[in-house]
Amino acid sequence: MKFHSLFVCKSCSAVLDHEEADDRAEGNQLLLKLLETQKNNFAYSTLNIEPVGCFWSCVKKYSCAVSFVCPQKYTYHFVDLTEENITELLEFSLLYQESQDGYVLPPKLPGKLRSHLLVRIPPTPEAIA
């Protein structure tokens, strides 16, 4: 079984305007809180929801960011998320976990999640023993 993580930005500390950073951080904290409520849901029990400091996505004005990460799988980085995207993120997590290499066809991205995808990073090659 592979270890799947959902990293959730918990701040917008890279934004220079502190008032704007505070507003965005509130959105990040709400997103994190709503995602963490799913920890006891059996369907998402293999997904490690992990708060992280700052992705620096907000430098380019993209707030409320998350990344789906798993060894030898694609990494997906979504931005500008709201509580309305929670269900879509959880649906995507199931598709991601079921996929052998983490690749999820763009038309299969739930709801409006495709418009929030900033980058999909290919998996790193396995180390040669």
Q: What is the CATH number of the domain that holds 62?
A: 3.40.30.10
pTM for this one? Answer: 0.81
Would residue 41 count as lying in a domain?
A: yes
How many residues are given for the chain?
Answer: 129
Domain limits at 69? Answer: 4-121
- Cα atoms in the 13 Å half-sphere on the side-chain side of 54: 14
Tell me how far apart the alpha carbons of residues 64 and 11 are, in angstroms, rounded to a whole number.
8
Query: Is 112 contained in some domain?
Result: yes
Q: What is the Cα–Cα distance from 121 to 70, expressed in whole angstroms?
A: 11
What pLDDT was estimated at residue 14?
Answer: 45
Q: Per-residue pLDDT for the chain (129 aa), expressed as one digit of tens each?
A: 578 998 988 775 544 444 554 455 565 677 777 777 777 777 677 888 888 887 877 766 777 889 999 999 999 999 988 888 989 999 999 999 999 999 999 999 999 999 999 999 999 877 555
Q: Per the structure block, which two tokens stand in for 36? A: 């963490």
> Is 128 contained in some domain?
no
State residue 1's pLDDT score: 59
**pLDDT value of residue 106:** 93
Please work out, in degrees rounded to the nearest 5, the angle formed at the alpha carbon of residue 8 by the alpha carbons of 62 and 52.
105
Domain count, the chain: 1
Q: For 118, which DSSP code?
A: E
Q: In what order do the strands lie in the sheet with 47-52?
A: 47-52, 4-9, 66-69, 75-78, 117-121
H/E element, 66: strand 66-69
In a domain, residue 68? The reply is yes
Q: Is residue 98 part of a domain?
A: yes
What pLDDT is recorded for position 129? 53
Q: Is residue 57 part of a domain?
A: yes
